[in-house]
Amino acid sequence: MIKSPTLTFDARAELLADALDKNSLPDVARALDRLSVAETMEQLERLNSIDRALAFRTLPKGRALEVFERLDALLQADLVAGLQDAQVAEVFAGLSPDDRVALLDELPASVAKRLLLGLSDKDRALTNTVLGYPQGAVGRYMSPQFVTARPWFTAAQTMARVRAQLDDAESIYTIPVVDEGRRLVGVVSLRDVLRAAESDPVASLMKDPLSAPATLDAEEAARYCADAKVLVLPIVDAETRLVGILTVDDALGILEDAESEDAARAGGAEPLRRPYLATPVRSIVRARVVWLLVLALGATLTVQVMGALAEQVVLSLFIPLLIGTGGNTGNQAATTITRALALGDVRPRDVFKVLARELRVGAWLGILLGGLGFVLASILFTVPLGLVIGLTLLGVCTMAAGVGGLMPLLGKALKVDPAVFSNPFISTFVDATGLIIYFLIASSVLGL
């Protein structure tokens, strides 16, 4: 492939856009020929569905499969709708079983069934193995194509088996070792096999295996794989029989998707699941409107309480300070606990420990900030007003930290993504509750 060193990525994008505007397939092919596989994928992600299908048709067969494999499943589904049946079947057959399943999950049932029927018996059986596990389970992301060894194999026999399966195996760098019943008994690295004498038995080279059950949540398994720093995590069934492997690149992909989803929900939106420029406007609207409606309804209580406080001009001056402090305190606690849940540092059963700790943290923050607020308000206004501000900050910080720490744990216990109980929801709840606390303290101290 010839790549022009003088053209920037944006300049190449302009060439592709001009060729598509002219509807000139030769020019489109030449524009894409200047790009690497990664750059081609980036350019396709920026196009609408019609232009994307048109550009993809101009790619050579081998490069088309490479690009298709690296696209998100939703973009793959969009492309399938715009390609001819023969080309779709060819590309689909070239995917690995786990990638096929990800694509099938995004396709209409009739299309998925037609594509499955077009596979060879071997490929269909491998794909059905992955399809048999529930969505969200790591079995849905594993590869059923792997090399195994037996404890009594010699290093030479193991290397012969690796060479025989080079073209089919997902990974060869970590080799699971199984017994006669396909139960996982160890793992051996390719490096150790190459270093050993040809007659050395695998039993003397293998190590105790790490593994995950096929029904385990995919994010938990991916986190385990990443934390253990292994290239391959064997996946087993309920009887510890080896059924697949999770490679580190697939694990990182799962974690990246989970982080993107959490980041979107922490900002009060649903994840787009497509690159931004490839996402239809209606999908972006749908992703944002739900939480905006929830927050708008929740804010009505805030408006009512603020109306009562606004009658006292001096009290209304401190509203931004109080709701801002409470919201930030709750968000800090929620972010910390959500992260701790993701890393496995806490579990839903630790709810009382977390609540007690966050209430203490909130109380200390309230004492520090409330003390400062008392001094400043007393100097600038009156001591009773300073007392109101100080006590309110103490109450708001304690309440906000407790609620912020509790919400992610509640979400996890209810088997809902903790990020759903996200910062905007907590901010709205804390704003309303904080203003009620402010109103009650002001009424009691100032006799309103």
Range from 102-106, 160-164, 365-369 carrying the lowest mean pLDDT: 102-106
pLDDT score at 3: 47
At 48, the pLDDT band (50, 70, 90 cuts) reads confident
Range ranked top by mean pLDDT from 77-86, 128-137, 206-215, 272-281: 206-215
The 232-236 sheet, strands edge to edge:
212-213, 232-236, 242-247
Taking 90 as the threshold, does the pLDDT of residue 264 lie above it? no
Q: Which of 276-280, 306-310, 321-325 has the highest mean pLDDT?
A: 321-325
Q: Does the pLDDT of residue 20 top 80, yes or no?
A: no
Question: pTM for this structure?
Answer: 0.58
**Confidence check: pLDDT of 274 > 70:** no
Write the DSSP symbol of residue 28: H
- pLDDT over 70 for what percent of the chain? 81
What is the average per-residue pLDDT within 180-206? 92
**pLDDT confidence of 13, banded at 50, 70, 90?**
confident
372-408 confidence digits (pLDDT tens): 889 988 888 889 888 988 999 999 999 988 988 888 8
pLDDT above 80: residue 232: yes
Average pLDDT over residues 99-128: 79
Strands 232-236 and 212-213: parallel
User: What is the average pLDDT across 194-199?
Assistant: 92
Q: How confident is the model at residue 420 (pLDDT cuts 50, 70, 90)?
A: low
Q: Exposed (0-12), middle (13-18) or buried (19+): which is 343, by Cβ within 10 Å? A: exposed
Give residue 343's pLDDT.
Answer: 67
Of the listed ranges 32-41, 55-64, 281-290, the least confidently predicted one is 281-290
pLDDT for the residue numbered 1:
42
Q: Among 78-82, 174-178, 332-336, 353-357, where is mean pLDDT lowest?
A: 78-82
247, β-bridge pairs: 232
Confidence at 278, pLDDT banded by 50, 70, 90: low
Per-residue pLDDT, 106: 72
In this predicted structure, what is the pLDDT of residue 211? Answer: 92
Two tokens at 60? 């050579």
Q: Whose CA is closest to 210, among 193, 190, 230?
A: 230
Alpha-carbon distances of 100 from 25, 96, 117, 251, rounded to whole Å: 28, 6, 13, 17
**Interval 356-371 mean pLDDT:** 90
Residue 2 — pLDDT band, cuts 50, 70, 90? very low
What does the pLDDT average to over 213-219? 91
Rounded mean pLDDT of the chain? 80
At residue 271's C-alpha, the angle toward residues 302 and 91, to 5°, is 170
Q: How far is CA 248 from CA 75, 135, 447, in A?
A: 23, 20, 64
Q: Which residue has the higher pLDDT, 64 or 180?
A: 180
Given a cut of 50, whether residue 4 has pLDDT beyond it is no
The residue that leads in pLDDT, 429 or 214, is 214
Q: Evaluate if residue 6 carries a pLDDT over 90.
A: no
